[in-house]
């Protein structure tokens, strides 16, 4: 019983924490074309960037939790009086989902391998009151790994009524589900169909193993957030909050996983090819993305003397080996492994089938180039990590990590799928 009470308490805390900057967001945007989940996603981006800054300081996690909760509680009354709650039932369903999936984690709180030997020690660093600069004393061999997710994990764990680390992982569940419901709410199909889509979407994307201490669910949500923001920036020729949110979102991606460096390059490319974005705004994105990359790279290089992509000891093969038969035969095994991942995360299969359908029927109006570009770049990056490595254990690494890399970006294709469904079958409900 105490565990259920604790879960409700933490969900309430997270709900209030991520309501914190709401007044600022509504006033700054004048509530233009923003639904409740969009405001929540922007709040999450702002709060996580603040938490990122706090992680470099030695601050009491209890004070942070209660300060944000109090501000969120005050904001609740403002938003209740000034916001249209036509879809409030969907938010109640969201809270129910957070509760049910939190129970699911509580029923099997086991940490998976990387979480047990790596991420938990970074979490303990913050849980025990230390900050980012103490990570060089954490002997888990992970100096080059970003830390933002573990700070959020520690924040919620520290404020739990019971001292079990799994309670901190409700942080990941909450943000993951916000991203799912953000998409559902954007392409609203009516309450019944939205509920069915919510059950189906979470059934296809909730991987219990990845919520056992990995950072992939947080990356999953952040990549969805930034694609949702790309739709927003396409509607404005002048700099506004949505452009800045893209930059802040990209910054978070850098501080969750090392693959984030590749993802924000892909996202920058997508922003640069968008026809509706002016040259001035594109220059803004180039300079902003370059700045956040340089900041992150400099901190890790100068303080930890490490910046890696891949795993510890990762080295590239020689250039003359890239097209050799010995190396090329890896490709067949990687394609086989890739297909296993596609069926593990069915959003990939549905996306590919829809693309084939669109091209076969020549209904090109359903195609959005950014999704195809992101898909091919993502697959190319994922395969290259293992194709170009000078490590005899490359296939082992591919078999245990390729699915995690592809999971991070799989939510993007849910946007494409639901947008297709809306245009094809539910256009009158838009």
According to the model, what pLDDT value does residue 364 have? Answer: 66
Q: Tell me: do 104 and 204 sit in the same domain.
A: yes
Q: Tell me: do 230 and 318 sit in the same domain.
A: no
DSSP-H helix ranges across 108-240: 113-114, 120-127, 148-158, 170-186, 191-205, 216-233
Last residue of a domain, one of 236, 271, 287: 236
Distance (Å, rounded) from C-alpha 283 to C-alpha 22? 29
226-265 in b/e burial notation, b at 16+ Cβ within 10 A?
A: bbbbbebbeebeeeebbbbbbbbbbbbbbbbbbbbbbbbe
Q: Tell me: do 131 and 229 sit in the same domain.
A: yes
Q: Is the dihedral of CA 278, 283, 286, 287 positive or negative?
A: negative
Residue 46 lies in a domain: yes
Q: Tell me: do 35 and 168 sit in the same domain.
A: yes
Q: Tell me: do 329 and 203 sit in the same domain.
A: no
Q: Tell me: do 221 and 337 sit in the same domain.
A: no
Residue 259 lies in a domain: no
Last residue of a domain, one of 208, 236, 264: 236
Supply the mean pLDDT for the chain.
87
Q: Tell me: do 325 and 220 sit in the same domain.
A: no
Residue 351 lies in a domain: yes
Q: Is the dihedral of CA 110, 112, 116, 121 positive or negative?
A: negative
Residue 242 lies in a domain: no
What mean pLDDT do residues 349-367 have?
84
Last residue of a domain, one of 236, 262, 289: 236
Structure confidence by residue, pLDDT tens digits, 292-320: 999 998 988 877 776 666 555 556 666 66
Q: How many CB atoms lie within 10 A of CB 84?
A: 9
Distance (Å, rounded) from C-alpha 203 to C-alpha 190? 20
Q: Tell me: do 107 and 199 sit in the same domain.
A: yes
Question: Which of 155, 268, 265, 148 lies closest to 217, judged by CA?
Answer: 148
Q: Tell me: do 203 and 59 sit in the same domain.
A: yes
State how far Cα 192 lies from the chain centre.
27
Q: Which of 148-152, 188-192, 326-330 has the lowest mean pLDDT?
A: 326-330
Q: How many CB atoms lie within 10 A of CB 381?
A: 18
Q: Is the dihedral of CA 151, 287, 372, 32 positive or negative?
A: positive
Higher model confidence: residue 365 or residue 199? 199
Q: Tell me: do 119 and 204 sit in the same domain.
A: yes
Residue 304 lies in a domain: no
For the cut 80, the answer to whether the pLDDT of residue 10 exceeds it is yes
Q: Tell me: do 216 and 351 sit in the same domain.
A: no
Kindly report the pTM of this predicted structure. Answer: 0.93
Residue 364 lies in a domain: yes
Q: Tell me: do 213 and 357 sit in the same domain.
A: no
Q: Which two tokens stand for residue 247?
A: 């930059």
Distance (Å, rounded) from C-alpha 355 to C-alpha 420? 10
According to the model, what pLDDT value does residue 250 have? Answer: 97
Structure confidence by residue, pLDDT tens digits, 253-296: 999 998 899 999 999 999 999 888 899 999 999 999 999 999 99
Q: Which two tokens stand for residue 7?
A: 């879960």
Structure confidence by residue, pLDDT tens digits, 40-64: 999 999 999 999 999 999 999 999 9
Work out how many domains the chain is built from and give that number. 2
Q: Which two tokens stand for residue 427?
A: 């256009």
Residue 406 lies in a domain: yes
Range of the domain at 225: 2-236
Structure confidence by residue, pLDDT tens digits, 86-145: 557 888 899 999 999 999 999 999 998 888 888 999 999 999 999 999 988 887 656 778
For the cut 60, the answer to whether the pLDDT of residue 183 exceeds it is yes
Residue 349 lies in a domain: yes
């Amino acid at each position: 019983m105490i565990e259920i009470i604790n879960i409700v308490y933490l969900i309430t805390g997270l709900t209030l924490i991520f309501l914190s900057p709401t007044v600022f967001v509504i006033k700054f945007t004048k509530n233009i074309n923003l639904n409740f989940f969009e405001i929540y996603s922007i709040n999450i981006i702002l709060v996580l960037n603040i938490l990122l800054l706090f992680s470099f300081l030695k601050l009491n996690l209890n004070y942070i939790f209660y300060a944000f909760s109090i501000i969120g509680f005050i904001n609740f009354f403002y938003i209740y009086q000034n916001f249209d709650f036509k879809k409030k039932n969907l938010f109640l369903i969201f809270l129910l989902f957070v509760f049910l999936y939190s129970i699911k984690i509580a029923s099997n709180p086991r940490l998976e391998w990387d979480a047990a030997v790596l991420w938990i020690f970074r979490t303990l660093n913050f849980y025990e009151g230390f900050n980012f600069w103490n990570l060089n004393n954490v002997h888990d061999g992970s100096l080059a790994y970003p830390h933002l997710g573990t700070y959020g994990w520690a924040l919620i764990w520290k404020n739990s009524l019971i001292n079990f680390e799994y309670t901190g992982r409700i942080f990941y569940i909450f943000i993951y589900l916000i991203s799912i419901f953000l998409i559902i709410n954007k392409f609203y199909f009516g309450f019944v169909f939205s509920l069915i889509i919510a059950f189906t979407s979470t059934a296809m994307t909730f991987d219990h193993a990845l919520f056992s201490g990995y950072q992939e669910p947080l990356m999953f949500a952040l990549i969805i957030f930034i694609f949702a923001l790309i739709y927003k920036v396409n509607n404005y020729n002048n700099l506004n909050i949505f452009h800045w949110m893209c930059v802040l979102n990209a910054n978070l991606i850098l501080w969750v996983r090392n693959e984030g460096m590749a993802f924000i390059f892909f996202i920058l490319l997508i922003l640069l090819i968008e026809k509706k974005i002016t040259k001035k705004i594109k220059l803004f994105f180039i300079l902003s993305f370059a700045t956040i990359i340089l900041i992150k790279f400099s901190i890790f290089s100068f303080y930890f003397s490490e910046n890696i992509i891949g795993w510890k000891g990762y080295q590239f093969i020689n250039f003359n080996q890239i097209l050799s038969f010995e190396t090329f035969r890896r490709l067949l095994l990687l394609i086989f492994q890739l297909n296993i991942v596609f069926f593990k995360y069915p959003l990939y299969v549905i996306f590919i089938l829809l693309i084939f359908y669109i091209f076969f029927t020549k209904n090109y109006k359903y195609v959005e180039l950014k999704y195809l570009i992101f898909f091919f770049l993502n697959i190319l990056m994922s395969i290259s990590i293992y194709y170009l490595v000078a490590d005899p254990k490359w296939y082992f690494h591919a078999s245990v990590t390729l699915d995690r890399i592809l999971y991070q970006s799989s939510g993007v294709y849910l946007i494409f799928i639901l947008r297709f469904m809306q245009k094809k079958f539910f256009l009158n409900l838009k």
